[in-house]
Amino acid sequence: MPSGASVFIAMSGDRAFSGTLHALMMKISLLQQMYKDVLAGIPLAKESHHYSSLLTLSVEQPAGGDESCHQRHLPPPAAGTGSHQDTDMVVPAADDLSDSFASMSSSFCPREVKLLQLTLIKMMVAKAESQQIESSMRLKYCEIFVLLLKEAKTDSKLVSLLGPHDRLLSHMASQSLAALVYFQLKEENALNVTWLSFTLNTLLGFPGNTPVADCLWTLTAIIKETLRDAVLPKAGVLKKLLAPLDAVLEGFYNAILFHHFDSHHYTSPYSEATTNLISFIDLLEALLASRTELELPLRCQRVLFLKVSYILNLISSPIPYVIKKKFILLLKKCVLHKSREDARSGSVSLQALPLCEDVLALSNAVLQVVSLTWLNQIPLDEKSSYFGSSEPAPADDPQGGSDQTVLRALSLVALKALEFKIHNSTAEAEIKGDFESSMSQLLMFWRSHLKPFPQSHPIVHHCEWLSLIFIEQDDDMWEAAKALLLIYLKLDRLRPDAADNLSQEEEDSWNIHTHAGGYNPHCIFLFFLEKIAFDSSVLLDFLISSETCFLEYLVRYLKLLRREWHQFVAVCNHFDTKHGALQSVSPAQPPHPEEPSCVSDEEQSCVTDESLQNAGCEPAPPTALSLSSSPDGCVFTAERGANEAESDSLISADSAALPGALPGSLQSLVNYDSSEDSELESDGKECSVNTKQVPANNEGEKRRRGTGCSYTADNWKICTSEVLPLKQEGSHPSSCWTLMTSLDNIIPLRIMLYKSTKCLEELQQAISRLQRRNLFPYNPTALLKLLSHIEKMRKNMNPQ
């Protein structure tokens, strides 16, 4: 070909390239200015068609990535001998334009132009939904959106951008599509037909070659936008959105979790199958949050509860740990959903019945696998991500590498499921069987994954596990403590009715069962106080926080403490015995000659009280029987003591949950009618603590602990009878530290009793001060009455 023709073709191509480049640069400049105006809240001066044309997507252009941004759109060299000579014949102006284009920012390539357009669409929808924008600007934005949807068919173009070819572009297109669908649903009360058709076809076509993850992301984003809207009538919008998808979503649930599930597809946490499943977990979480907005939940909002066995099977299957963890955290939200929904509503609603059915179905499925070996099939030694490193320093990993977040979540799921199952059961044998099988597995699970911290005592007492596992997550801890408290109350009501006729041995048997099962409420509460160093300000922080779980737990426990004061004092004495064993001169010294030996008829009694001696948390001498010596850790018999006949309306396991939402329903939470007893007075006065019976120095404490005394069957009875007032007002305080030759003459130090009641009294004083200054967030009068009653009982034990 003659060289002149080559030059002509090159010049023609350069002119076309120059025109395209000029148009692209103009569009970029206008989009950048539009972005600045929208960001600054400046009204858009031109007509709506101008801006809709700027935001119209060009999907016919390749979206293959940044490679097109750096191509030199020059004609290729011609073949033949003259090719080298022809390549030197380049028009300078075109060469300058090419160099200019190559040196421009990567944001000027067609792909980045699309990203800028998608960002603008999402930003403008957010601005239009804002209550702070001027009505004229909002109207302008709405006109642009209508043009984009009706004339430019932007929704169809956004759907075409979804897929795995460009993850960033697909994600931005998904967000923009969700914003436009939500806008149309809110403003026009109409569901976008293009999006609905795409969603139905994608879910029904699974597991075909469809962008499942993007489809699920879009639906999840729409639901979340609806839930965030404070003005929108959520119930109507959610029903219009989810009703057409109800049956399809349930079918997809069955398909992805059961019918088409293959663990071989999930070998990598970055595979497409893993991405699809994680996206579906996010959707299930959004559906769970949205069910509170509907009077009667849809099937797609209930399927997670009714078919939770699919998820339980997946958790124990060989899939990436990230999927297991997300499913476990989702189950935790499910078991907490009822408590928060009850707290939110504060009254019985139409959805109460299906919710109870759903939670009961979930609880049955969870307990069925927990009673087997399901917990042991879940690995918790996966390494988490740490800031600046992929693993923690050896000194910062006292728990042996276990994932504490998952450990707490699994524990709470099991405890809440057990609470709800026992709450809804009436057969005594079923209740005791469920508790024994589930709690024994849970105790073994805790022991295998939680190791004591360096330089700390070994973990022996089962009631201590709760505070050790949940101490770093207080809201979960109080949910777990409340669950065990309600279980205790339910089992207590199953005891024989003749509570006043209980023998001491029967009462001891009941007490040791609660300790061995790890659900003695007094022991759990004291272990927690020990962990926070008896700091009343910590309790005050819990009470004034937006979460009301601790308030609900504390009210229930204080009412129980009012009834079981003698049991509380006995547990406090055993904590003191624990410290005595720790600092004894000869830990292995034989028992006192007056103490009975564990033989024949007294064998059960001795086992009971030696176990209670170990209830502190330190192991006793080698001859003593430790509670943790058995792998099961729990001993349960069919014998129960009499039912306590007190008729106050203690918030029991089978009563309705307390409303706890702030600020409206929280007011009803503190109107405890049962605590308004006539003998209680709400004086709100400052409380002083009597310290005359408390040692003044640590030396005396060491001498007292040095006695090395241990409580066996007879001595336990002596200890429980010592709740009567002491009669030594005239004696010198140091006289109680004297070493006695007879165990019957030893006056208990009551260190734990003093510290725990002192903490509650300081809490009472702090609440009273805040109430007098109108700084407490709700009316604490009834709570103060309960605390005042505890103070009076403590003072009756130690008269001045």
The string of DSSP letters for 56-75 reads ---TTS--S-GGGGG---PP
Phi, psi of 63 (to 5 degrees): -115, 40
469 in Cβ contact with 414 (< 8 Å): no
Predicted pLDDT at 3: 53
598 pLDDT higher than 80? no
Task: Read off the pLDDT of residues 775-797 as tens digits, 9 standing for 90 and up.
Answer: 999 999 999 999 999 999 988 87
Find, among 207, 355, 356, the residue nearest to 271 by Cα: 207
Q: Is the pLDDT at 650 greater than 70, yes or no?
A: no
- pTM given for the model: 0.72
Region 385-400 average pLDDT: 48
Q: What is the mean pLDDT of the chain?
A: 73
Higher pLDDT, 537 or 434: 537
Give the model confidence (pLDDT) of 148-161 as tens digits. 999 999 999 999 99
- Tell me how far apart the alpha carbons of residues 690 and 792 are, in angstroms, rounded to a whole number: 11
Tell me what pLDDT residue 60 has: 60
What is the C-alpha separation between 117 and 139, in angstroms, rounded? 20
Look at residue 397 and tell me whether its pLDDT is greater than 60.
no
pLDDT at 538 over 80: yes
Q: Rounded to 5 degrees, what are φ and ψ at 386?
A: -125, 145
Mean pLDDT, rounded, for 122-144: 90
The sign of the dihedral angle between the CA atoms of 233, 237, 239, 242 is negative
Q: What's the rounded Cα separation, in Å, for the pair 577 and 709?
A: 8
Residue type present at position 113: V
Exposed, middle or buried, 304 (CB in 10 Å: 0-12/13-18/19+)? buried
Higher pLDDT, 19 or 63: 19
CA–CA–CA angle 158, 162, 165 (5° rounding): 130
The pLDDT value recorded for residue 730 is: 41
Instruction: Give the Cα separation of 386 and 760 in Å (integer).
Output: 38
Tokens 């292995």 map to which residue? 588
Most confident of 78-87, 375-384, 638-647, 752-761: 752-761
Q: What's the DSSP call for residue 748?
A: P
Residue type, 765: Q
Of 645 and 136, which is predicted with more confidence?
Answer: 136
Share of the chain above pLDDT 70, in %: 63
* Average of per-residue pLDDT across 280-306: 94
Look up residue 484 and give its DSSP letter.
H
Average pLDDT in the 659-671 region?
Answer: 37
Whether 424 has a pLDDT exceeding 50, the answer reads yes
Beta-ladder partners of 389: 386
**Residue 297 reports pLDDT greater than 80:** yes
pLDDT at residue 10 tops 60: no
At residue 8, does pLDDT exceed 90?
Answer: no
Residues forming a β-bridge with 386: 389
pLDDT for the residue numbered 75: 38
Are 481 and 553 in contact by the 8 Å Cβ rule? The answer is: yes
Confidence of residue 269 (pLDDT cuts 50, 70, 90): confident
**Rg from Cα positions in the chain:** 35
Neighbours of 738 (CB within 10 A): 12
The confidence band for 207, taking pLDDT boundaries of 50, 70 and 90, is: confident
Q: Can you give the length of the chain in residues?
A: 800
The DSSP code sequence of 272-309 is HHHHHHHHHHHHHHHHHHHGGGSSS--HHHHHHHHTHH
State residue 659's pLDDT score. 34
Distance, CA of 187 to CA of 190 (rounded, Å): 8
Half-sphere exposure of 489 (CA within 13 A, CB side): 24
What residues contact residue 306 under an 8 Å CB cut-off, 6+ apart?
Answer: 358, 361
- Residue 287: count other Cβ atoms within 10 Å of its Cβ: 23
CA distances from 751 to 577, 672, 701, 762 (A): 10, 32, 9, 16
The span from the CA of 127 to the CA of 135, in Å, is 11
Task: Look at the block and give the residue holding tokens 């200890």.
Answer: 719
Cα 763-569-621 angle, rounded to 5 deg: 120
